[in-house]
Structure 1
Amino acid sequence: MDDEPKTAAELKEIRIERRRAQDADGIKAMAEIAAADVAIRKRTARLRALRLAKEAADRAKPALPKATPKKKKST
């Protein structure tokens, strides 16, 4: 950077340009957050539907009782 002192107008222009860049970065960050939120909601809905379908199938088909092994007689 140059060591020359800046005029008030140049400093103001630098501040304005920095503010515009920060605003643009903020808008981009918010868009990324919104896109991630949409992706999470879609994935959650898909997983919920899979879970509910599995639970319904489990309710429709009762579990078979497990066969207990017969105890051997000790001699």
Structure 2
Amino acid sequence: MDDQPKTAAEMKEIRLNRKLAQNVEGIKAMADIAAADIAIRKRTADLRAMRLAKEAADRDKPAEPKAKPKKKKSS
């Protein structure tokens, strides 16, 4: 690092560059969040469609009742 003191103009330029870099990083982060949100919504919609299809198939074909075992008569 430089041990020489910086002028006001140099400090202003450093702050401006830092702010621009932070803005770029913020935009990238927001894009990543939006992409993740879209992926989650798509997966949720796919899972919902599969669940509804399964429920419809189950409704069309009701489950067979289970046979109850006969109790032994005690004497």
Q: How does 1:1-75 map to 2 (within 5 A)?
A: 1-75=1-75
- What are the ranges of 5 or more consecutive residues in structure 2 without an aligned counterpart? none
**Post-superposition CA distance 1:3-45 (Å, at most 9, x none):** 2111000000000000010001001000100100010011000
* Ranges of 4+ aligned residues in structure 1 off by more than 3 Å: none
1:52 partner amino acid: L
When the two chains are superposed, the root-mean-square deviation of aligned CA atoms in Å is 0.7
TM superposition score normalised by structure 1? 0.95
For 1:74 and 1:21, locate their aligned partners in 2 and report how far apart those are by CA, in whole Å: 86
Number of aligned residues? 75
Percent identical across equivalent pairs?
77
Unaligned runs of 5+ in 1: none
The amino acid that maps onto 1:71 is: K
TM-score normalized with structure 2 length: 0.95
